[in-house]
Amino acid sequence: MSSTVAADLTPPPSGTVGRKPRGGNPLVRYIVVRFLLIFPTIFILVSIVFVVMRVIGDPITAAMGGRLTPDQLAQRIHAAGYDRPIIVQYVEYIGQVFTGNFGTSITDGRPIITIIGTYGGATLELAIYALIVALVVGIPLGMVAAYFRDRWPDAILRILAILWYATPVFFVGLLLKLVFSVWLDILPVAGRASTRTELDLDALPHPTGIYLIDAFQLGDPNAIGDVLAHAVLPGLALGFLTAGIFLRLTRTNVIGTLSMDYVDAARSRGVSEYRLVRKHAFKPALIPVITVIGLQIALLLGGAVLTETTFEWKGLGFELAQYLGSRDFVAVQGIVALLAVIVAVTNFIVDIIAALIDPRVRY
């Protein structure tokens, strides 16, 4: 997706220069232009978040409105600088963001960067589990569906994919909990680890915040098992959300490549059907899938907020929901802005990978 942006946006003044294949590798030029495009993107996102959050007035009134006297309130607002002209606050905010300062939460006074550092690992861990589930489930099934196009395996898989799509991630989570934690009683209901393991992990000298790595650091097999058991249901819930998308996408693209002449040619040379799908049709179909993985990061982050709430998985999403509940909009603004930056950077990385795989993407 972002590759089309880049194409639309051949930098206006240097556009004529860009036409000439003068000097340098086109890939390098693509990477540089694409990299420079991150900044306006981040700038726009952060500006939108700022404007939107200030339309409703100052955050201190929103958080403390009922609890302080008007005098105290005015004092707090003045101390935080929210009574200055909005444009001054905006310039200051943008400056802070570009130096990595996303503000300090009102309710508990923690800097947003600290919150991200503490809880980011948990969200990252969950997102990685989910991505693994999605790829392992979605891509092979998509290939099967494409190969058996319009026959019963395809029909079943497509209906399954639509069902996955139609089920909100928090409902999947509740169902999984109900079946595996309550009725079958084989997996933990919520949290990232049992209390004992959590205490052990926090006592580590250099905890990464990613519990699986920490559990390995601890070297206790029980802790590793405990951490993994807690990760199964959230990972599945969030993974299924994207698995359906990968399935549909792989199916459509493999169908496209399976009808190409070179696949017919390979088939007539006696290449086995398995090899045909696995090698000839799949590889070219992979490019759009990779690009979409990048887009899924946005979806995964959104889904993570809901999954974390369902499973009390103490990551960024869970914290975000807590701050929303306490109307701490500075914290919300900080977390949302930082997530936007993460999405922009991920999209950049994915675009570069896509360009490395497929020369046509470069310009």
Give the footprint of other proteins on this chain (CB under 8 A). 1-2, 5, 8-9, 12, 40-41, 44-45, 48-49, 52-53, 55-56, 62, 150, 155, 158-159, 162-163, 165-168, 170-171, 174-175, 177-178, 181-183, 189-190, 252, 255-256, 259, 295, 298-299, 301-303, 305-306, 309-310, 320-321, 324-325, 327, 329, 332, 336, 339-340, 343-344, 347
Q: How far apart are CA 217 and CA 194, in angstroms?
A: 17
Nearer to other proteins, 28 or 171 (CB): 171
Least Cβ distance, residue 23 to other proteins (angstroms) = 26
Return the sign of the alpha-carbon dihedral for residues 48, 53, 54, 60.
negative
Least Cβ distance, residue 325 to other proteins (angstroms) = 6
Nearer to other proteins, 336 or 361 (CB): 336
Nearer to other proteins, 277 or 316 (CB): 316
Nearer to other proteins, 51 or 132 (CB): 51
As a whole number of Å, the end-to-end CA separation of the chain is: 14
Residues 6+ apart with CB under 8 A from 263: 257, 276, 280, 281
Partners of 104 in the β-ladder: 111
Q: Determine contact, residues 112/100, Cβ cutoff 8 Å.
A: no
Nearer to other proteins, 55 or 87 (CB): 55
Least Cβ distance, residue 163 to other proteins (angstroms) = 7
Least Cβ distance, residue 131 to other proteins (angstroms) = 15
Nearer to other proteins, 52 or 132 (CB): 52
The token pair that represents 254 in the structure block = 């493999």
Nearer to other proteins, 223 or 337 (CB): 337
Least Cβ distance, residue 271 to other proteins (angstroms) = 23
Least Cβ distance, residue 107 to other proteins (angstroms) = 14
Least Cβ distance, residue 40 to other proteins (angstroms) = 6
Q: How far apart are CA 96 and CA 99, in angstroms?
A: 5
Angle at CA of residue 176, ends 243 and 167, nearest 5°: 50
Write out the DSSP string of 9-71.
Answer: T--TTTHHHHHS--SS-HHHHHHHHHHHHHHHHHHHHHHHHHHHHHHT--HHHHHHTTTS-HH
Nearer to other proteins, 150 or 273 (CB): 150
User: Look-up: residue for tokens 């997530």?
Assistant: 339
Q: Using a CB cutoff of 8 Å and minimum separation of 24, what contacts does 9-14 make? A: 9/37, 10/363
Partners of 111 in the β-ladder: 104
Least Cβ distance, residue 134 to other proteins (angstroms) = 16
